Structure 1
């Protein structure tokens, strides 16, 4: 379990009734004592998002004549954090996929990177995850920023008052998320997360456009930002835990005595099997056929065209199918 706040003060006054005032201070900016920010160069990351689908939002939801946000493209949101970003616009969405499903491990499981140029100019986003690629579940979030005065387009907010919203930290530092926060979502498998959705928070306090956190608080962040780079600027999503480092894969995949080497493999894979097979299939962890080797191709297989990840090797003979496994790497 992680402690997300530094200070919690409770004051109780009793006179016929009582009042409870709670002031929570969450993790501070990068480089500050107690910060949860994770540097993009940290060795804790084992993978990065490999695919991105965009649903751009308007530059200014209150003036649709400006059109949609346009800075960056889908490729800007994948791979390692590098400050090459894609802007979502007001209420814009990015859906990220991964070569290997994420899983709930010890501590934080992934981190989301934005490109803020300071510790206080923070454009925020909700984070949601899915295990079936269709149904998404949102992380609980908190925003304690005042909501009486609109934070301007170049205004500032205090990271200490923000929790579980992407965009809390400056460029180069990811906001971490823990899948155990969603362990009670009965229709979500937190040990097989295939997609992550980033949803821009419209920082307006105007009732026509505002967004709330999980507690009903209005989320006030810099708005409007009437530029092509409007809204949350997605840099990357770094993976800390996936099924490769948290799960005994033999528990859910039946594996025969097919020997493959080297394993992990990069370009060439050798199989210790009978040579008279009908075909060999390579099936990714999502159950999709990625490659087929026809009969008579020998026992040395070129896998350079496979994406990085975990594969089931399915060997078909006349009267049986045998299975093995291999991890494809790129180095």
Structure 2
């Protein structure tokens, strides 16, 4: 059986995450106090959103540290899926928060309340500055993997929510338009759902060992069988371990009883071809000749 490894996990600095966690803790505390004093449900809602950011950032920080740990006898893959789990949890929480925000915005639209707009304006501005700084810190790392992207999205959407609270505070102060807060909240919530869905779907597909959407299994099998020595490829499994590793496990049935050295030569050519064409970088291929087993491409284990 052949095994091939060609992958590295990007090790990211946790410094930016630590700064963002600290800033969001300060923002959450100030908004809770301000919301209770001013009677602003919008501020308390934003505080709840910020608190979920703190939790998601802590999860992301933990996952990034765990993903860089080495494999062991009891954990042969290490913790390479820690970041995918973190991305899924963060995306799922983003969706739940969005639904709660929509429900809250409807309630507030039906029953608008008069609040101390000065405190709302000041604390919303502070939240925008704090989250805006965190967004700038996380922007570069957000391009590295799903985990960092999920943390970045939480911060970005929370900054946008604070912008809505600020605008609502200004309109309430100068025009008495208390309903505008509900409208802006609902708009941000819809945006959260749109942004969070793709991340939730991508992380879910990896956790479920689904074949990457960019790979067509039947086409891959035809590519392998284009080698004159290979009779068929069956019992195929293709999955992503994380964002950098795509695994292929399959049985290769040969026309002739070839030597092990010949198999190695064919295998090296096949690995190069499949890596270039499909991005597969981890192979586990079992050679066979006249073996009495099912030749179906997909076999339910």
What interval of TM-score do these two structures reach, taking the shorter chain for normalisation? under 0.3
TM-score (norm 1): 0.23
More strand by share: 1
More helix by share: 2
TM-score (norm 2): 0.25
Structure with the greater alpha carbon radius of gyration: 2
